[in-house]
Amino acid sequence: MTKAAALLLAGSLALAACASDDESSSGGTSGGGEGDLKVGVAYDTGGRGDKSFNDSAIAGVEAAVKEAGGDVTEDIQELSPNADGSDRAELLTQLAENGFNPVIAVGFAYGDIIGDIAAEYPDTQFAIVDTSVSEMGVDNLTGLVFAEEEGSFLAGVAAASKSATNHVGFVGGQESPLIAKFQAGFEAGAQAVKPDITIDVKYLSPAGDPSGFGDPEGGKVAAQGMYQAGADIVFHAAGGSGEGVFEAAVEAGQRAIGVDSDQYLSASAEQQAVIMTSMLKRVDNAVQGYIEDFAAGDLEGGSDILNNLETGGIALSTSGGFIDDIQGVIEDYRQQIIDGDIEVPTTP
Amino acid sequence: MNALRRIGASLFAPALAVVVAIVLTAIVILVIGQDPAVALRVLLDFGDTPAQQTQSIVVILNRAVPLFLAGLAVAVAFRMGLFNIGVEGQYRMATVIAAGVGAAVVLPAPLHVLLIVVVAMTVGALWAGIVAVLKVTRGVSEVISSIMLNFIALGTASFLLTGPLRGSEEGAAIITTTDIPESGRFPAINGLFGVLGLEQPRGQLFGFLLVAVVVGVVVSVLLKRTRFGFDLRATGLSPSAATASGIDARAMVIKTMLISGAVAGLIGLPDLLGRTYHFGTEFTAGLGFLGIAVALLGRNSPVGIAFAALLFAFLDRAAVPLQFADIPASVVTIIQGTIVLSVVVANEVARQITRRRAGRAGGQGGDGGPDAGTSAGPAGPAGTRITDDRQEAGA
């Protein structure tokens, strides 16, 4: 009996290990497109349909391809890595081998390997979102990087200004230097408005375990804990787990702040009521701009393209009108950051 | 004749499982509006040029090596009736510490590699040993403790990586340990392709493949040709009978878990010594759990696990080309999942068929027939019971 139970458990774990949510969608086949522009996209774990990072990237690619007169199903090839990400190098190599140019790697997880692969295929242009390439010394590689801490600072300003309990929260996906930038900016922004504010911080998974970006249940539990402890606004930088944060906000009757895309726009009606604002990280604009530069032959290569408050690549959304009354305050801080009067930290 | 029937019976279950899985997957592909024939063609198409074809072989073998080691680690414990679900944590702990030690010392090449391997095996064994000690001294179920230790291992590995063993500079997006110097790396064995007269692939074939083969042979001999292996299997089949015949069950639990953990410690090394040269936040995770599936599919025998690992790797290879053909890579996951599920069912079906046939044969020699002589142990009731189909029942 116990043996049967244990076997069942083992089997279910094995299946869980097999399960993955990577999903490729209607990418085009290699060969036979109309335009010259053939873009390869390698997704981060989670793939298309995350309503966040990956979706934003592909939106930018599609916009650029359309603009160039290409066909979005024929001229774009999307690839998702397997569940444990062990075939990432293979994705980039095969895109390059099949003649896709440029090849765009979505997510810093590719940062470890993309330098070597770009060096192997000098005739293909590569870009990587969220990783600085300026020190890699590869001419056909561009880094699309963002000043997330600046936008998170404004999110912190908004949260602190709106908090009635003087208590806010931050839910991060995986403990990593990238998400630490969100946390650092958020804390600095909140403290700039209210120096004595209480900020709860919770990461969903430790460094080395990316599960925190796809764990809505974990996100919900974390946010519930913060609301119960007295927080009334929770900012999440946790990818797909943010869905759980919004659910918790609906149940608690409190508010949440979205991330990456304007999450108000893709949310259900009851969640729209709680999504106060979103910290916009315009991966779509960055990717689109990159492809346009590529098509026009203006790529510098070997360097980074920085997107921040000044370039508009980072911003705070206003959908829903929840923060209209504090726009003045936010604008004031925004200008100070752009002018360099406020130096936003990148580590908490 | 009898041997032939036995081989047929042992191949029947996995073959049935694969067929069932393929049929189910074909239905799924049809439902999502794609052509199963295309998927099958992609699965079997290794590429147009000889170099692409050998590259596909490299991809499969490189994936199969860690899967094989993971399956082996799980199977050693399975054979004794222990469910080591903690292989995941054991290999994460082993890899991060081995990476740290490997980067910290400088030794002549063979010694350096040997040191890293020994460290990894020791850490894996010790981590698994915790499970064994808890079971022996406090009666804690190894299933519970090994799962719980996975979380602790994950957290500890993360702490070591971000703290004392951190090698990447502050602010880098990926946190890694310091790279292992040249002398600690395991050379690729691409020379193999030259010897076989095949085209050189663009990738590198893990030299650790050789180590995996040696480990497989050693484990196989240990299980089938030694007193220890006999004790292990006997305890797995019937702990009370084993104890009655003088086997120290508690010592066996500890020894088995140590061996299982030591093998688990090797899982991360093909990648560490052959490709990344450091442990990091993006180091391949989840191999320990896949190992459970591979061990189930391979019916806990080293040869079977080798085939199972190759099958999983063969399917994994298709994940990228399938997406080029507009078929979601999840198809691969579905096939793997259904194979594991159906193998559990098929094993049971095959066992019942064998049992019924044995019953018809008329009570002489028990269900295994005269082949019980393969075990090296003493004759008698316990000896005749250790036959292949009985072991499946144990799994």
CB contact under 8 A, B154 and A207: no
Is it the case that residue B388 has pLDDT exceeding 60?
A: no
Element (H, E) at B220: helix B208-225
Distance, in Å, from the CA atom of B126 to the CA atom of B132, rounded to the nearest integer, reads: 10
Phi-psi region of A47 (alpha: psi -120 to 50; beta: other; left: phi over 0): left
Residue B207: which pLDDT band, with cuts at 50, 70 and 90?
A: very high
Taking contacts as CB-CB distances below 8 angstroms, the residues of chain B near A25 are 328
- Which residue of chain B has the CA closest to A108? B173
Distance, in Å, from the CA atom of B18 to the CA atom of B363, rounded to the nearest integer, reads: 33
Distance, in Å, from the CA atom of B107 to the CA atom of B115, rounded to the nearest integer, reads: 9
Choice among B40-49, B127-136, B144-153 with the minimum mean pLDDT: B40-49
CB contact under 8 A, B173 and A108: yes
Residue B365: which pLDDT band, with cuts at 50, 70 and 90?
A: very low
Give the CA count within 13 Å in the CB-facing half-sphere of B110.
0
Instruction: Compute the 3-state secondary structure of chain B and give helix, strand, coil in percent, each to the nearest 5.
Output: 75, 0, 25
Residue B393: which pLDDT band, with cuts at 50, 70 and 90?
A: very low
Instruction: Give mean pLDDT, residues A295-304.
Output: 86
| Residue B99 CB neighbour total at 10 angstroms | 33
CATH number at residue B110: 1.10.3470
Is it the case that residue B376 has pLDDT exceeding 70?
A: no
Least CB-CB distance to A84: which of B141, B284, B320? B284
Least CB-CB distance to A18: which of B157, B283, B333? B333
CB contact under 8 A, B323 and A86: no
Structure tokens at B203: 């990738």
CB contact under 8 A, B143 and A9: yes
Between chain A and chain B, the number of residue pairs with CB atoms below 8 A apart is 164
Best probe of the B interface among A2, A18, A135, by most B CBs < 10 A, is A18
Residue B395's pLDDT is 39
Amino acid at A133: V
Structure tokens at B120: 């990894």
- Which residue of chain B has the CA closest to A179? B173
């974990």: which residue's tokens? A218
Instruction: Give mean pLDDT, residues B112-137.
Output: 96
Taking contacts as CB-CB distances below 8 angstroms, the residues of chain A near B322 are 24
Q: Are A40 and A97 in contact (CB under 8 A)?
A: no
Q: Using the 8-state DSSP alphabet, how is residue B275 labeled?
A: I
Ramachandran angles phi, psi of A275, nearest 5° = -85, 100
Taking contacts as CB-CB distances below 8 angstroms, the residues of chain B near A17 are 286, 288-290, 292-293
Is it the case that residue A66 has pLDDT exceeding 50?
A: yes
| Residue B327 CB neighbour total at 10 angstroms | 22
- What tens digit of pLDDT does each residue of A17-32 get? 444 333 333 333 333 3
Residue A17's pLDDT is 42
CA distance B385 to chain A (A): 19
CA distance B253 to chain A (A): 16
Q: Using the 8-state DSSP alphabet, how is residue A122 labeled?
A: T
CB contact under 8 A, B171 and A10: no
Residue A84's pLDDT is 82
Residue B381: which pLDDT band, with cuts at 50, 70 and 90?
A: very low
Residues 6+ apart with CB under 8 A from A244: A215, A216, A217, A218, A219, A220, A221, A222, A223
CB contact under 8 A, A207 and B175: yes
Residue A91: which pLDDT band, with cuts at 50, 70 and 90?
A: very high
Instruction: Give mean pLDDT, residues A144-170.
Output: 95
User: What are the helix (H) ranges across chain A?
Assistant: 2-18, 53-67, 88-97, 114-120, 148-162, 177-193, 216-228, 242-252, 263-266, 269-272, 283-296, 327-339
Which SS3 state, helix, strand or coil, does residue A211 take?
Answer: helix
Least CB-CB distance to B324: which of A9, A98, A130? A98
- What tens digit of pLDDT does each residue of B32-85 get? 888 889 988 998 988 888 888 999 999 999 999 999 999 999 999 999 999 999
Taking contacts as CB-CB distances below 8 angstroms, the residues of chain B near A146 are none
CB contact under 8 A, A18 and B159: no
ipTM of this complex: 0.79
Q: Are B198 and B54 in contact (CB under 8 A)?
A: yes
Q: Are A86 and A92 in contact (CB under 8 A)?
A: no
Q: Are B231 and B255 in contact (CB under 8 A)?
A: no
Residue A35's pLDDT is 52
Amino acid at B161: L
Choice among B92-106, B142-156, B274-288, B331-345 with the minimum mean pLDDT: B331-345
Is it the case that residue B181 has pLDDT exceeding 90?
A: yes
CB contact under 8 A, A208 and B157: yes
Residues linked to residue A76 through DSSP beta bridges, in sequence order: A39
């050789």: which residue's tokens? B210
Residue B178: which pLDDT band, with cuts at 50, 70 and 90?
A: very high
Map out the domains of chain A with their CATH numbers: 34-146+284-307 (3.40.50.2300), 148-281+318-339 (3.40.50.2300)
Structure tokens at A7: 């076997």
What is the β-pairing status of strands A275-281 and A314-316? antiparallel
Distance, in Å, from the CA atom of A220 to the CA atom of B79, rounded to the nearest integer, reads: 41
Taking contacts as CB-CB distances below 8 angstroms, the residues of chain B near A9 are 83, 85, 143
Q: Using the 8-state DSSP alphabet, how is residue A334 labeled?
A: H
CB contact under 8 A, A177 and B157: no
Cβ burial A221-260 (10 Å sphere, 16+ → b, else e): bbbbbbbeeebbbbbbbbbbbbbbbbbbbbebebbbbbbb
| Long-range contacts from B159-164, C-beta under 8 angstroms, 24+ separation | B159/A206, B160/B96, B160/B97, B160/B100, B161/A207, B161/A208, B161/B96, B161/B279, B161/B280, B161/B281, B162/A175, B162/A207, B164/B100
Residues linked to residue A144 through DSSP beta bridges, in sequence order: A129, A305
Question: What's the CA angle centered on B290, arms A83 and B210, to 5 degrees?
Answer: 105
Q: Using the 8-state DSSP alphabet, how is residue A213 labeled?
A: G
Nearest 10 degrees: Cα torsion B111, B116, B121, B122: 90
Q: Are B137 and A188 in contact (CB under 8 A)?
A: no
- Which residue of chain A has the CA closest to B32? A25
Least CB-CB distance to A11: which of B154, B171, B344? B344
Residues linked to residue A202 through DSSP beta bridges, in sequence order: A171
Distance, in Å, from the CA atom of B200 to the CA atom of B193, rounded to the nearest integer, reads: 6
Cβ burial B102-129 (10 Å sphere, 16+ → b, else e): bbebeeeeeebbebbbebbbbbbbbbbb
Distance, in Å, from the CA atom of A240 to the CA atom of A18, rounded to the nearest integer, reads: 19
CB contact under 8 A, B340 and A11: yes
Residues linked to residue A314 through DSSP beta bridges, in sequence order: A281
Instruction: Give mean pLDDT, residues B260-276.
Output: 95
Q: pTM of the prediction?
A: 0.83
CB contact under 8 A, A29 and B276: no
Q: What is the residue-averaged pLDDT of chain B?
A: 86
Number of domains in chain B: 1
Find the distance separating the first CA and the last CA of chain B, reported in whole Å: 26
Q: Is the C-alpha dihedral spanning A287, A289, A295, A299 positive or negative?
A: negative
CB contact under 8 A, A175 and B159: no
Element (H, E) at B364: none
Q: Can you state the angle between helices B287-297 and B302-317, rounded to 10 degrees? A: 120
Is it the case that residue A276 has pLDDT exceeding 80?
A: yes
Which SS3 state, helix, strand or coil, does residue A259 take?
Answer: strand
Instruction: Give mean pLDDT, residues A59-75.
Output: 89
Q: Are B89 and B152 in contact (CB under 8 A)?
A: yes
The parent domain of residue B296 ranges over 2-394
Distance, in Å, from the CA atom of B184 to the CA atom of B180, rounded to the nearest integer, reads: 6
For residue A15, what are the CA distances in angstroms to A18, A20, B340, B350?
5, 10, 8, 22
Residues 6+ apart with CB under 8 A from B190: B200, B201, B204, B205
Taking contacts as CB-CB distances below 8 angstroms, the residues of chain B near A82 are 316, 319, 329, 332
Residue B209's pLDDT is 96
CA distance A25 to chain B (A): 7
Least CB-CB distance to B328: which of A24, A206, A347? A24
Cis status, amide bond into B321, omega within 30 of 0: no
Which SS3 state, helix, strand or coil, does residue B232 take?
Answer: helix
Least CB-CB distance to B336: which of A18, A79, A178? A18
Taking contacts as CB-CB distances below 8 angstroms, the residues of chain B near A91 are 320
CB contact under 8 A, B174 and A111: yes
Best probe of the A interface among B324, B334, B340, by most A CBs < 10 A, is B324
Least CB-CB distance to B285: which of A3, A84, A175? A84
- Which residue of chain A has the CA closest to B316? A82
Order the strands of the A126-129 sheet from edge to edge. Answer: A76-79, A39-42, A103-105, A126-129, A141-146, A304-307
Is it the case that residue A156 has pLDDT exceeding 60?
A: yes
Which SS3 state, helix, strand or coil, does residue A313 take?
Answer: coil
| Residue B374 CB neighbour total at 10 angstroms | 12
Structure tokens at B285: 């995770």
